[in-house]
């Protein structure tokens, strides 16, 4: 595992297009499950009359999900290809799970967009494509699924037709040819996952080969350190130990870091003593590492979840206000100036006010449709000015994209998602 580069792969697409089956089958084909386990699942599925869900069940091993036949949380599973050690993030298709899709996608190096050949592009296909683009996913494999179900089965013409449709959509949101790979698959029958199977006319790669064709993600080590805090522990005899995933930069023992906004005016400053991951001491922490760090000089009550640590000479930016590009995913009425929902950004959750709606954009191309509109609604993309109701760290996507992405939640659902373009710093 250690000698292979790591790839975070998010699986997106419309709810009934076979994402979970594709994931289950991929895990099966790469030897993540024993044959007797599969037999057990098959019997269970048969007993419930849901035979076609067997591979999805392998993945959705939460009882509630099996009963409902729907993927709920972002589940993490791993497998190996010849080149990569892959972590799969299965992002649910249902609207109420878009929040997970967003937090899932923001960690993804690449996406597999699953499109069922007989349905083609659906509303969620468009939404997920735009979101993946907005949230910075630069590489995408489009798996055109359920090829066994065309009439006649494995129909090349039907594949080409859906491929052309999806390609048009991808280009309209700004994907270029070198960022895209298209492949036909039948997840249920395992065609073109590891072996070509009945897709005899296909001359391109299998799914596993397409994953190997992805470019190795660059770790953002040249950016300044940004370490959002997930939790803070006090460990007897050790002291204050914040825990969280390093998003950018490099952390080393002996470094002085500052936590912002923190409960301490001006930020809490401490020294990194030791860095641990999975109970092992690290000589340095890198982007993607989920670490617990023993900090000297910072008390437990001075920092909390949602604070971000960075170097003293390049501290995290606290926003007085910021300009953002957002996509309204699901709002029951309209969003106007003064609206104050909760912004979820890395580990922070802060109520923020819409100070101004500057422009309405075409959600497919990003072109300006209207200046200073009175309101925006579901399906609109817009440029907005936002004012946090309490101090929060956010960075412009130009400077540190990992800390520039957010989801907007209200009334128990994700109403919008977006990316920060510019920050007016709080002094």
Among the candidates 280, 311, 342, a domain finishes at 311
Q: Examine the domain organization and report whether 305 and 324 are in the same domain.
A: no
Rounded Cα distance between 9 and 23, Å, is 11
Q: Examine the domain organization and report whether 364 and 387 are in the same domain.
A: yes
Does the structure show a pLDDT above 70 at 62? no
Helices (H), 243-337: none
Return the pLDDT at 67. Answer: 52
Domain containing 302 — which CATH number? 2.40.30.10
Q: Which of 347, 324, 404, 19 is nearest to 187 (CA)?
A: 19
Q: Examine the domain organization and report whether 289 and 360 are in the same domain.
A: no
- Average pLDDT over every residue of 286-310: 93
Does the structure show a pLDDT above 50 at 194? yes
Q: Examine the domain organization and report whether 165 and 45 are in the same domain.
A: yes
- The 10 Å CB-count burial string (b at 16+, else e) for 80-100 is ebebbebbbbbbbbebebbbb
Of residues 247 and 1, more confidently modeled: 247
Return the pLDDT at 258. Answer: 98
Highest mean pLDDT among 7-11, 34-38, 83-87, 207-211: 207-211
Contacts of 204 (CB under 8 A, 6+ apart): 181, 182, 183, 210
Q: What is the pLDDT of residues 256-272, one digit of tens each?
A: 999 999 999 999 999 99
- Average pLDDT over every residue of 163-169: 96
Rounded Cα distance between 239 and 53, Å, is 48
* Residue 298 falls inside a structural domain: yes
Q: How many domains does the chain have?
A: 3
Q: What is the pLDDT of residues 343-378, one digit of tens each?
A: 988 889 999 999 999 999 876 667 799 999 999 998
User: Which pTM value belongs to this model?
Assistant: 0.70
Q: Examine the domain organization and report whether 412 and 268 are in the same domain.
A: no
Rounded Cα distance between 194 and 45, Å, is 24
- Average pLDDT over every residue of 182-210: 96
Return the pLDDT at 71. Answer: 42
- Please report which confidence band the pLDDT of residue 87 belongs to, taking 50, 70 and 90 as the band edges: confident
Task: Give the lowest-confidence range in 54-63, 118-127, 377-386.
Answer: 54-63
- Average pLDDT over every residue of 19-47: 78
């Amino acid at each position: 595992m250690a000698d292979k580069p790591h790839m975070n792969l998010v699986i997106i697409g419309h709810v009934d297009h076979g994402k979970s089956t594709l994931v289950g089958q991929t895990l099966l084909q790469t030897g993540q499950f024993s044959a007797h386990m599969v037999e057990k699942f098959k019997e269970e599925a048969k007993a419930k009359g849901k035979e076609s869900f067997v591979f999805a069940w392998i993945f959705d091993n939460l009882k509630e999900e099996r009963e409902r036949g729907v993927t709920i949380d972002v589940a993490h599973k791993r497998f190996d290809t010849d080149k990569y050690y892959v972590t799969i993030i299965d992002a649910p298709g249902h609207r109420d799970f878009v929040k997970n899709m967003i937090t899932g996608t923001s960690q993804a190096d690449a996406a597999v967009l699953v499109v069922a050949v007989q349905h083609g592009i659906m509303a969620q296909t468009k939404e997920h494509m735009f979101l993946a683009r907005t949230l910075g996913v630069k590489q995408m494999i489009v798996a055109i699924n359920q090829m066994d179900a065309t009439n006649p089965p494995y129909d090349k013409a039907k594949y080409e037709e859906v491929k052309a449709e999806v390609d048009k959509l991808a280009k309209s949101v700004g994907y270029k040819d070198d960022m895209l790979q298209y492949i036909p698959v039948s997840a249920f029958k395992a065609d073109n996952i590891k072996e070509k199977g009945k897709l005899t006319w296909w001359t391109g790669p299998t799914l596993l080969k397409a994953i190997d064709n992805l470019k190795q993600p660059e770790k953002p080590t040249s950016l300044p350190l940004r370490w959002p805090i997930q939790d803070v522990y006090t460990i007897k005899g050790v002291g204050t130990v914040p825990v969280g995933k390093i998003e950018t930069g490099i952390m080393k023992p002996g470094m002085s870091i500052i936590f912002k906004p923190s409960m301490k005016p001006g930020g809490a400053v401490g020294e990194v003593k030791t860095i641990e991951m999975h109970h092992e001491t690290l000589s340095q922490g890198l982007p993607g590492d989920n670490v617990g760090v023993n900090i000297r000089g910072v008390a437990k009550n001075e920092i909390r979840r949602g604070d971000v640590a960075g170097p003293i000479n390049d501290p995290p930016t606290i926003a007085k206000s910021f300009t953002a590009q957002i996509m309204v995913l699901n709002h029951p009425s309209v969003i106007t100036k003064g609206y104050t929902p909760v912004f979820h950004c890395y580990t922070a959750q802060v109520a923020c006010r819409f100070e101004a709606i500057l422009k309405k954009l075409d959600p497919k191309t990003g072109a300006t449709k209207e200046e200073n509109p009175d309101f925006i609604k579901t399906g609109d993309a817009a440029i907005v000015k936002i004012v946090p109701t309490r101090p929060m760290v956010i960075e412009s996507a130009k400077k540190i994209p990992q800390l520039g992405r957010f989801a907007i939640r209200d009334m128990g659902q994700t109403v919008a998602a977006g990316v920060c373009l510019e920050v007016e710093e709080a002094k």
